[in-house]
Structure 1
Amino acid sequence: MGNRDIKDADTRLQLAWAFILTEWPRLYPNSPLPFLSEVYRSPDLQRAYYAQGRDPLARVNSQRRLVNLAPITEEENRHKVTNSKPGQSKHQSLPSKAIDVLFVKPGTQREISQDINFYKALAKMVRGFNPEITWGADWNHNWRSDDERLVDMPHFEVQ
């Protein structure tokens, strides 16, 4: 897993994250909580992510071991994690031009919610705070995901 240190992110993303941490619990007190899952990725981690869904399972798990990730199953290896090759991801710059956000259900430390409605609410909040931030499920900023080639709900980035 990449690092989760918001200090390694672009200042615009740092400010948005501080805003999220303040406003989300106030606006959605009984909803899952936003959780910063990734900021910066090393080239080796990006290589391991890019291999998933493209390379044979043995090679994928070998690359995952190099970055201390647990092995995955053949079923998991049917799903791509990223379309960015090493050196192409906004997560790979310092400061990082991207963050990934997940939602943790209240009262749990591990149970993750994948509900698109939470991501839509978060994207609306973030874009209202700073329109320069792009949500990975609405690259063209038209508030639709069905016209996107790639939908990456947890992803937020700046140019």
Structure 2
Amino acid sequence: MGRVEAPCALIVMGVSGSGKSTVAGALGQRLGWRFEDGDSFHPASNVEKMRAGHPLTDEDRWPWLNAIADEIERVCKGGGHIIIACSALKHTYRDVLLRGRSDVRFVFLRGTKELIAERLAQRKGHFMPPGLLKSQFDTLEPPETGEHVITVSIDETVEAIVDGIVRQLKLGGAIPKVLP
């Protein structure tokens, strides 16, 4: 069996509270790839809107998604590798993030509303209030097979989740490192 080419970018996706940042950070450490939290690409107006308890509209999301897609493009063109935590809840959002690239993969963190609500209730200091979880699930369009997705259950330890992702990437021992 031939070696599978590593994607230049992984987008760890799911609803708020699914563990995107935690899993993406741990995956970045395991692979030696740069990690970025997609939340850092939000304009201040989006953060304030969510902090006030208002869900974002598609119009709010386009500049944010395009900023993330620009960073993926920059890293991939430079021969690097990046992992980004980003909700990417709709098919159209994922299309914007991909920009037609075939060297980007999604990692979908799947979990129940109950488990995620429990995690959100324990989280302190995050701008996304637990009350917006329903809107996240209402918006979620789970990725389909044709979207080159790796789906993992969040009902495991972070280490087990990362192990499952790495196994599904099928990179074998040849895991590329991020360029300096």
* TM-score bucket (shorter structure): under 0.3
TM-score by length of structure 2 reads: 0.25
Q: Which has the higher contact order (CA 8 A, sep 6+)?
A: 2
Task: Give the structure-1-normalised TM-score.
Answer: 0.28
Which has more helix, going by share of residues?
2
